[in-house]
Structure 1
């Protein structure tokens, strides 16, 4: 069967292809090849800037156009070469050399991939496309979601709500504040993520610039490598490496993304619960169907879809962060296969962010239900009353309220005020206690 969205094995490239097309320039096979070509060409230019050979400014411009205007046909040509070489990076090297011939640089061909091993290309190309995907796709998406949450939270800062701890009615809270809990959590983890460098390896077969040094012992190759990786590519070169990058920072990024996803998963479950409690209604479209059997249903599918995708993403991030930093001696090949899949949890994460945003846009606050639940749970002001009585040095106020609220009788405003009237306290204090309601006992928010 010819590959298309209906025949794709992965739902990311099938069912969800239209939602994730923006990821193809970063995580597809085409993208990996293009980024490898970019690194090879920029390295070739950097060698010329080191005065090892000379090329003109027009030639440099033409060289950069090779990866800037890279086509599917170019990538397919490299894949055809790979069938012969059985080595993907060597096929890229041959492609670049062939392109140089067309620019009148036949005498410079052997400077392509000079002194390098394939991991000098892979361990710069991979963090480069990962960095650009994070900056161009993920950060705008998560930032917009946080802004939407913050706006939602602030708009509900005057909405009292019955809290539930251990699933039981508890001291009332503010709906907006409960939303801002997630904002604070997300912003904290996003800040941590921003402090993790996009690390790269560049130093030859075993990380020591062996081939470079033996060819040009007077050149400061370490300085060259730092300049090339840090300045030209915008990454951060690790100084002491084996044949491959440590992946410790990449693993830290995966772990941080996993924590962000876990926070969002927590949010999705809370909102799902609020919808089931009728605190929120959902906007509906005329022709949408909630259930094939029950016409009345409007299911919270966006939050459910997000939860599923967040779980998938986290399972893969967990494997990536656990596996990648482990390699036998100076390297084994297990990282190569695994690295090709970094776009999969990224894709599930982006899907989840879109689902959460879509679900949030459908929410309609049912303020009457929140008011009703508060009115039906006057027992939650027991904490307030016993605490004020403690302030007044009233004997055993906790025990008195415990006896009242655990007696099996539903506690109403009438019940609570009758209890207050029976206390041996001043009229002024009784008046103060009677001003406390489930609707205003919400703290400082």
Structure 2
């Protein structure tokens, strides 16, 4: 049967990076199992298990990478014994006959499955963190570039006081910095299940070392060190606590929240024609409407970010129903939800990186929208200027109120431009400030400390957050999958 005749997840076949798809591949999974068996054998031999020979260790080392033939053979064996781990023990033993009798010595299946999963959780975060660093870095450069460009602010998606394009970008960056903090914390908090035996008591290893508790602890620590972790969880059942999955997937789901918010804002700005995501020269926006420039990248981010947020529920639901030392109802869902969360986070970050690397700003459109709303916002400034020249605030307020309603009627009912300033200039009452109106309407005077806030945020807050992560920053262009 052709591969085109069976379902293939678009996460791996259409969107995800090669590196992330490879991390969760069958070859990586089963090769990691072999690495764990090899590590266990080496540590057991170092601690005096004489049954493990140098020849056995060498054969295990020479066959760490699982071949296609190995995977096929293990699949056939699993159909007979109905146990994936023992199927791979059998196939590994065929490749390393001198070690066949000592592979998996003292271990339970979760020694390889759970420790491998923790390795994947860690290595997956090591792939995601550099991408997030680059999103933050490029968006920060964008913020600095446009820190002084006034833009109409929106609250409730209704016109509000002015901000700047750069200051708005800091709102996106700040949330991404929290995500970076969360990803780093989750990554650095990860431990290994280690060598704990069938129910976490290390009973089998205590027997293996004839009651020597110190050697059992040494074995656990040695395996942890050889696999590049700082520590093993001190207490486990048969599995590591599925609360660890909750912790990691909560972090990824939170990243999905930030990504969705960012991409939604870009979609709204695209409709306003103020800012657009990159649009390739030959890209087609609509099969029927040739003029369209749909924000398809941002829409993809929103679509997948929703899925990313939902994977968290799989983790919480699973962790909450683990009975005593373990049940097996965690297995199938974790095979789906954990790779799905990582692949989705990878795609979301790659797409965001593509977007922020080529955002297009349209200052003239932004200026026109400001000019349509600024007259209303400037009324308080005009009132204050009149009072400074001896005017009565209440009388001035009433004059402007009447003119504002007239101007609003022109905009809303007649579809015309906002002519409030022209009406003010034509009203004799406002003659004392007529020559000051242009200065009173300068958009730069309405943005408060937005430019200064943006510059300090990028040069201090962002710089501190990225300290030590500069090695990840690149200027490479980001090509998306289809």
The residue that corresponds to 1:147 in the other structure is 137
Which among 326, 331, 340 is matched to residue 321 of structure 2? Answer: 326
How do residues 83-232 of structure 1 correspond to structure 2 at under 5 angstroms? 83-101=79-97, 105=98, 109-135=100-126, 137-196=127-186, 197-202=189-194, 203-216=196-209, 217-220=211-214, 221-232=216-227
Between the aligned partners of 1:150 and 1:420, the Cα distance in structure 2 is: 48
Residue 80 in structure 1 maps to residue 70 in structure 2: no
Contact 2:277 2:356 in 1 (8 A): no
**SS at structure 1 position matched to 2:445:** coil
**For residue 445 of structure 2, what is the aligned residue in structure 1?**
440
Aligned partner of residue 407 in structure 2, secondary structure: coil
Query: Where is the helix percentage greater, Structure 1 or Structure 2?
Result: 2
**Aligned in 2, Cα 1:61/1:186: closer, same or farther, shift over 3 Å?**
farther
Q: Alpha-carbon deviations, 1:324-357, whole Å to 9, x = none?
A: 3530121110111122121112222222223333
Separation in structure 2 between the aligned mates of residue 150 and residue 58 of structure 1, nearest angstrom: 56
1:45 and 2:36 are equivalent in the alignment: no
Structure 2 unmatched ranges of 5 or more: 409-417, 452-482
**Would the alpha carbon gap of residues 164 and 213 (structure 1) be closer, same or farther in structure 2, given more than 3 Å must change?**
same
2:30 partner SS: helix
Give the structure 2 partner of residue 374 of structure 1: 370
**Residue 272 of structure 1: how far off its partner (Å):** 0.6
Kindly indicate whether residue 271 of structure 2 is the aligned counterpart of residue 269 of structure 1.
no
Task: Give the match's secondary structure for 1:376.
Answer: helix
Which is worse superposed, 172-181 or 87-96? 87-96
Q: 1:246 to 1:381 in 2, by over 3 A?
A: farther
- Measured against aligned partners, the alpha-carbon deviations of 1:307-335 in whole angstroms (never above 9, x if no partner) come to 11111222123322432353012111011
Counterpart secondary structure, 1:171: strand
- Residues 300 and 359 of structure 1 are in contact (CA less than 8 Å); yes or no, is this contact kept in structure 2? no
Matches of 1:83 and 1:89, distance apart in 2: 12
Contact 2:153/2:163 (8 A) holds in 1: yes
The answer to whether the Cα contact below 8 Å between 2:41 and 2:52 also exists between their aligned partners in 1 is no
TM-score by length of 1: 0.85
Deviation readout 1:175-198 (Å, 9 max, x if unpaired): 011112111211122112211222
For the Cα contact (< 8 Å) 1:374–1:439, is it kept in 2? no
Q: Which has the higher contact order (CA 8 A, sep 6+)?
A: 2
Matched, 1:71 2:76: no
Task: Tell me whether 1:24 sits opposite 2:29 in the alignment.
Answer: no
CA RMSD of aligned residues (A): 3.4
